[in-house]
Structure 1
Amino acid sequence: MPLLSDPIELLRPPVLRFGVGTIDTLAAWVEERGYGRPVVIADPVNAARLAVLGLGTPACFGTVVPEPDITNLMAAVAAAEGADCVIGFGGGSAMDLAKMVAVMAGHDLRLADISGPNRAPARRVGLVQIPTTAGTGSEVGTRALITDPATQAKVATESRHMLADLAIIDPALTYSVPPFVTAATGVDAMAHCVEAFTSKRSHPIIDAYALQGIELVGKYLRRAVEDGTDAEARAGLSLAALYGGVCLGPVNTTAGHAVAYPLGTRHHLAHGIANALIFPHVLAANAPATVEKTEAICRALGFAPGGSQDVLAGARDFCEALGLDMRLGAHRVPEDDLPNMARDAHAIRRLLDWNPVDLSVGEIEGIYRAAY
């Protein structure tokens, strides 16, 4: 069992601003730092509301796609030529792309040159992260995921040089997020906390953030789904996502995300719903190995602990109460691809090796079939 005295390193943006209205401080910060050529990295929805940034008409790469691939990345890098500050504005895909653009700008680099841990060069530009969903927590992290179309696998890059200089978490930016996206991204934020909490490399410091994040989702997610303008609920979810991002740094996720990844890379499901569909099944599979922590998770989400089947039913009911269709087949995932998905997921050892239960290819396929 990890001890409080075990070594751990936590990295944070040097400036983190949280709360309604904090977006209004961006322009002054950019001016104070002397940045005259910022570029915004955004998805089409957020590219259409750049005015909220208060920067006039900044340059913008506004075609970030869900689960961005190498082609999307290199187009963003080209669009950022000459910029002195990169601003990620959107969900996890936009912020991950912004991290990569920031370390690649001004360098003649390919993804293969910097992927993996601690290979990215020092940044020559500033980096700001502004989340518009309460999900990934990418705004406070040092890791980014880009899909390689040739292998249909996510390539992870991690470096302290990808840590933002400024993170602005303004819950008001999430008020317009639709109920389905609110639900899916909220479960993703909670899954970050749950998987770190139950990981083999969990740490008491991270456990504190993780459990608080789970409790916040249990308290506020349904409220935000039912009323997107509920300011308290939106702030609670934004904080939960932030705590999930804290968990990702020194601990990271485990089997839940590994099993969810092929849904995105092979069948283009958004990251949030992919994780939601898998979450109850992996929580139940891990329950026998993490009894006390699983009981704490169940209580935080508002249902009674029990055996694995009770955990599965309770977690699925929690997600379905948010309006999510928890049948994998309802999301156009072909049943005949489940064996291939299981093989792909099983190969993601950087996550699965830290799962509290060793899942075989067959067991992962069984999770897909149970979810189908």
Structure 2
Amino acid sequence: MKKLRLACVVGARPNFMKMAPLLRAFEAYPQVETVLIHTGQHYDRNLSDVFFEELGIKHPDVSLNVGSGSHGVQTAQIIEKIEQVLQDASAEGTPFDRLIVVGDVNSTMAATLASVKLGIPVAHVEAGLRSFDRTMPEEINRIVTDALSDMLLVSEPSGIENLKQEGKPEEQLYLVGNVMIDTLMHLLPKARQSDVLSRYELQPSQYGLVTLHRPANVDDPKILESLLDVLIDISKRLKLIFPIHPRTEKRLTDFGLLDKVKSADAIVLAPPLGYLDFLALSSQAKVIVTDSGGLQEESTVLGVPCLTLRPNTERPCTTEGGTSTLIGNDAALLNQCLEDVLEGRYKNGTAPKVWDGKAAERIASVIVERC
């Protein structure tokens, strides 16, 4: 039986959640050895023993400790350090057969570039997603990673069409499903045991969940205040919980808006939450207001209305068939959609059939068969 050695690269906390089901799936193949490489692109003090225990995965085998920096500096450091890891493995007689990357962070693109230049093929999980907005760094990372990868593992049908339009051959394309949904389904029963609702005095389906962090929503005081005014008004009829991102909290403070939010009795400000607590909240909310791409996906599977504060999305299945509606930073549209939710007029959505919690199993099978 041929041994297969895989370098599995992560760079930020969400990457671990995408990689976790893959690492579990590979355990079914005794001929496969996985080496988990954490670039350290995002330092996260929440990556504790409990975090890895909850996800059911090992700690990283290799930590590069790259840290924050400009896109250019960070990308260069990741390329340099990943290249050394891959070269050392070859020099020691234990070369990698393939590198696996997930998502669209700088680590995804940089590790891919380093790997293919050394002749190591790359599999990209979540390939083909496109917002068609090249002002987003993530869009550039997605395009470059897909151009260089020879195994494109796609989460939704639009990804297949995008990659075909870009000239990728069909034999490299695999519609496998969404690994983030694998993690959601794996941990949902445990999340439902969380006491987070009682801690914040919430009742199932009787509150809204709010997250905000993107510059387009929080860096302009007029835009931010207009969105807050809608949320404050709606909180008189529906309690809201707002786990506040440090960047958003700083903007609220800088713009003199934090006290305004705190004065709203039915808006509960919370610190950033762990995955299980957050999943407990998102799965039992009446509505989600967010600018997170991942929450678009999760809300569609959970059947929770999602008002997405973005003008575009790389996940069109969540708006075309799912529970998400693109709001941009249009306060009037946000208010209208919240009214629709409260009055029972909001659409029902369905998730793609391949979002069934078995994406990682399909991916592991493809990789083992192809390598």
> What TM-score do the two structures reach when normalised by structure 1?
0.34
> What TM-score do the two structures reach when normalised by structure 2?
0.34
Bigger CA radius of gyration: 2
